Amino acid sequence: MTKSGRIALPKIVIGDEEHERLSALANSIAARQPELAEELLAEMDRARVVKSAKVPADVVRMNAEVEFETDEGHRRRVTLVYPGEADISSGRISILTPIGAALIGLSAGQSFSFEARDGRQQRLTVLSVGPAASPVVKPEGEGSAVIDLGNARDARAVARPAAGISGEDDPGPSAA
């Protein structure tokens, strides 16, 4: 607690590229969803911004897998994603939710209080942070593609050559 009796907010770290993208996202929704925009912008304002390559591995960033525990003792493992990629049934939580905004920039061991959509005060503690998944493009119908930012192991499996090939990097076509 601070001298004023308020609970001190934990220090958070955000990479410069994510900071820029998340700030733009918040500004783009400000007219339609001012509360969500304000919440995300407040997190961006208080964050220590570092070069993206310098973000520690245990810090929650976009597309990272996060395990946390609520003050009620419920444990969850989720992936923090941009709004168009959210799918609660797959554990993909949008940054534009109270819990998503609360998670960004935290590191393992840190706790944060936030107001849930139903108005209840919640507290969560980050237990672990997995690496951010690399995007994988999967074909979906003719002429379109969907970016799948699923588990990094799945991304590596999709990127491997077909069965029966050694799995070493393919140098591509050779000049004849």
pLDDT: is 51 or 72 the higher one?
Answer: 51
- The pLDDT of residue 7 is 60
* Burial environment of residue 32 by CB neighbours within 10 A (0 to 12, 13 to 18, 19 or more): exposed
pLDDT surpasses 50 at 156:
no
Q: Name the more confident of 82 and 122.
A: 82
For helices 16-29 and 34-46, give the axis angle rounded to 10 degrees. Answer: 160
pLDDT band at 117 (very low <50, low <70, confident <90, very high): confident
Q: Look up the CATH number of domain 13-132.
A: 3.10.50.30
Residues 112 and 122: their CA atoms lie apart, in Å, by: 8
Which of helix, strand or coil describes residue 37? helix
The domain locations on the chain are 13-132, 133-164
The 10s digit of each residue's pLDDT in 18-69 is 999 999 999 999 999 999 899 899 999 999 999 999 999 999 999 999 999 9
